[in-house]
Amino acid sequence: MKLSRRSFLGGSALAALAAPRLALARGLLTDPGLDDVVKRALAAATKAGASYADVRLVRRRNERVNTREDRIEHVGSSEEYGIGVRVIAKGAWGFSATPLVTVAEAERVAKQAVAIAHANSKLLERPVTLAPVPANVDVWQTPLVKDPFKIPLEDKAELLLAINAAAMKVAGVKFVTSWYAAIQEWKIFASTDGAYIEQELVRLGPGYSVTAVDEKRGEFETRDHGLPPMQAGWEYVEDSTLLADARRIGEEAVEKLKAPSVVPGKRDLILDPSNLWLTIHESIGHPTELDRAMGYEANFAGTSFATPDKLGKLKIGSPILTFYADKTTPGGLATCGYDDDGVKTQRWNLVENGVFVGYQTTREQAGWINEKASRGTSYADSYASFPFQRMPNVSLAPAPRERSLDDLIASTDDGVLVSGNGSWSIDHQRLNFQFGGQVFWEIKKGKKTRMLRDVAYQANTLEFWSACDAIGGKSSWALGGSFNDGKGEPTQSNSVSHGCPPARFRQQNILTTNRRAGS
């Protein structure tokens, strides 16, 4: 039975809560008592003195299968479930959580969150002020056909072992590891501002790595498959070319082992989307996180060169480049209907025609730069984690006219093409960096001539993006991404995707990473 507004609110004291329990997206919520847990937690926080409170009920499931050659090495499955209550009292944040989802525990942690806020207020530099938000009441879920958590583990292991067997048939291949990982995140968010939102997100990421060995020279090279993790159902795996590509991936690992090292120097650089997405993540995504730009966050990724005084002024790249943030991108790992502030997700530009124009913000952060509304980038990776600003899907818009990777190659006289991700490093202001890759091709007079190895490119963020003179069109645009973007202390992990077309960068510093003796 649906609750009426009056029965959910339980009286005029909580009139701001305006939220009935929703018709469920997939029948996930089976205990109607959870509505009472939510209501009582908000009521307890308000009674204890909170000027604002929100509740998150979160169930998170993880599944992983790892194999090597002809054997299963690991099968893992975990689940956590609990409730977190966040409040503002005396102008300060307070937060508490519990894995016991009962009315008594919800009321206890709500009161504890207020007590923590009171303690925090003694050290407050400025009171927390939240940008306004509509009282959103909604259901959102990952569009999918087949729930991957209902697919037997045997089917997943069978696919991985078949991939291994196919790759091992290639002469010179000695090792193959393969994996499958999936995350299911179900949550209810409710607040004293009137929000009542139910969401379910399903993410999965299969892959494998092939190693070729030259026993005479004592050398080896690896080649990973480039299928990106995605927010999707099991049909994403079924429709993929994971198994069909296994022999080719093995052959490329062997070819890479036999390839010559790159000759270092200045050359044109073409980056496939399977490589470029990570460069976007590090040099555009992290610098436009407002807390980093203002010096409030430096964990893992440092601070940022894109400080607020440069907003609307700093030229980050060439005029053909527009980078946008988007938590609505179909399949994007950071995509959802609403963030953990209850803000409806959206798309907006971070860099427009080469100029830095926007930040990633939360309800708390919007006022820091005199914006009236949040961009909807608040997220917590667990019921027991405090929500804070996390990266949305940050992508490079394609060119207005069609241009393919082959077109970029055909118009390049002397260059290197890089595909896939390798090692990387970047300084704490996100300016000076070095990236590797998986597979490298020499380009001569508009043609791919031979595979290379030991390639890395080194650049400065502003110089690098300013040197971009050509990008692909819409049909060449593709998503890449990661399950594990770390930030904060204690560390939280965020899943995020980055879309882009292939792109060309004129006269970049190409390095050799060759450390082999006698080279």
**Structural domain boundaries in the chain:** 5-258, 265-512
* Separation between Cα atoms, residue 377 and residue 338, nearest integer Å: 9
Predicted confidence at residue 31, as pLDDT, reads 65
Predicted confidence at residue 279, as pLDDT, reads 97
CATH number assigned to the domain with residue range 5-258, chosen from the 4 options 3.30.2290.10, 3.40.50.2020, 3.40.120.10, 3.30.70.2190? 3.30.2290.10
Predicted confidence at residue 516, as pLDDT, reads 65
* Separation between Cα atoms, residue 247 and residue 228, nearest integer Å: 19
Query: Tokens 């999707």 sit at which residue?
Result: 232
Predicted confidence at residue 33, as pLDDT, reads 80
What pTM was estimated for this model as a whole?
0.92
**Separate counts of helices (H) and strands (E) for the chain:** 11, 25
- pLDDT < 70: residue spans in the chain: 1-31, 516-519
Which residues, 6+ apart, have CB-to-CB distance to 507 below 8 Å? Answer: 266, 267, 268, 467
Work out the angle at residue 488's Cα, subtended by the Cα atoms of residues 484 and 489, and round it to the nearest 5 degrees.
Answer: 120
Q: How many CB atoms lie within 10 A of CB 479?
A: 22
Strand partners, 197: 138, 189
Predicted confidence at residue 32, as pLDDT, reads 74
* Separation between Cα atoms, residue 61 and residue 234, nearest integer Å: 15
Predicted confidence at residue 226, as pLDDT, reads 84
Which residues, 6+ apart, have CB-to-CB distance to 215 below 8 Å? Answer: none
The DSSP annotation for 262-285 comes to PPPEEEEEEE-HHHHHHHHIIIII
Strand partners, 182: 63, 204
Predicted confidence at residue 24, as pLDDT, reads 39
Work out the angle at residue 426's Cα, subtended by the Cα atoms of residues 222 and 377, and round it to the nearest 5 degrees.
Answer: 100
